[in-house]
Amino acid sequence: MPTVHVDLANRSYDILVEDGLLDSIGALIQSVGLRGKCALITDSNVGPLYAERVLASLKEAGFNASTHTFPAGEGSKSMTQASELCSAMIEAGHDRSSFVVALGGGVTGDLAGFVAAIFYRGIPFVQVPTTIVSQVDSSAGGKTGVNSPEGKNLIGAFHQPRLVVVDPLTLASLPGREYREGYAEAIKHAAIRDEAMIDALNALDPADQHPSADLLARNLAIKARVVEEDERETSGTRALLNFGHTVGHGIEASLPYGEMLHGEAISLGIRAALYLSEKINGFPKEDSARILKFLKTFQLPLVLPEGISTETIMAKLQRDKKFSGGSIKFVLLTSAGTAMVSDQVTLSDISEAIEHLRVG
């Protein structure tokens, strides 16, 4: 099966990608040496679909597991929900010898990973992603966290998983909109590190919800190599993964959580970043067109919805983690497949890029 190894010394782990792995999770977890009780954390959408299969596999491998289900949606990525999950785990008899299995999309992975990071000061966890966003990006890398009213992911911890198990067959159950939105992260990877993948993605049929394991692994390998170079965002390399996210997060935070899906906001952020890449770095317009063509084919938004002011977006994005010490670090493309972190982007430039999103 396609396997991506994330080499982080004593925090290293494998990402396994293959159809049907959901039914082998217990044995796979056993093979990495995890023992003790398991807390299966999932949401109200994914739980009814896949929790019983995962529990059966865990039981077959000899694990005693409890299930903890939270309401689906971005609104659950909160300190309140994290606290409630921790309390439920304590009531179920979990302690520092337990481990967490995160079954679901990016919200579940972030929330369950954060719970694992803080429960008894940190217990192991396993990622079992079930959406495109999580299967190509968020399940790897160890970023966990919750939102606050001021912005996305402002409260969190770096906590690497012990194993990531990707079963592409779980994508078939996604609503079309949720399936397509995840590809904003895939085109991001192509734009910053793999030019050839731009064309590979443009060849996909958005109605076919069964991408190849190799394509998913190709994305995860990009994420893994960047994480290996800069696990905790200290050298600047990992910041490249924020391409499209500065403006995207500002837009997402300007709306009630969940009104715009993460990948939809990132699509708008990518268009803004392409505009600034052209303006500041002379990025070729024809390469921007290749990327925008993909976003349009996958029905991702390229025009800002009415009713969101530029001032609101600017206020939200300036609270983002990417504004270190008040300075602007903005990811731009220099060529297709190559990105840089620029300190040449001004607040006026960003405001101009947001206004550009109002034009079709």
**219 catalytically annotated:** no
Q: Which of 245, 271, 290, 316 is catalytic?
A: 245
Q: Which of 189, 223, 316, 322 is catalytic?
A: 223
Q: Which of 10, 121, 286, 306 is catalytic?
A: 121
* Residue 356: count of CB within 10 angstroms of its CB: 16
Both tokens assigned to 31: 């093979």
Q: Which of 94, 143, 180, 188 is catalytic?
A: 143
**210 catalytically annotated:** no
**279 catalytically annotated:** no
Q: Which of 74, 178, 185, 264 is catalytic?
A: 185
Q: Which of 249, 290, 316, 322 is catalytic?
A: 249
**223 catalytically annotated:** yes
The span from the CA of 253 to the CA of 291, in Å, is: 24
**262 catalytically annotated:** yes
The span from the CA of 331 to the CA of 317, in Å, is: 14
Q: Which of 77, 242, 252, 316 is catalytic?
A: 242
Element (H, E) at 103: strand 99-104
Both tokens assigned to 306: 């009415």
Q: Provide CB contacts within 8 A for 343, sequence distance 6+.
A: 327, 328, 329, 330
**121 catalytically annotated:** yes
Q: Which of 159, 262, 271, 322 is catalytic?
A: 262
The span from the CA of 57 to the CA of 25, in Å, is: 6
Q: Which of 233, 293, 321, 329 is catalytic?
A: 233
* Selection from 49, 41, 126 nearest residue 81 by Cα: 41
**238 catalytically annotated:** yes
The span from the CA of 138 to the CA of 223, in Å, is: 9
Q: Are 129 and 169 in contact (CB under 8 A)?
A: no
Q: Which of 68, 188, 189, 238 is catalytic?
A: 238
**162 catalytically annotated:** no
**35 catalytically annotated:** no
**202 catalytically annotated:** no
Catalytic residues: 121, 143, 185, 223, 233, 238, 242, 245, 249, 262
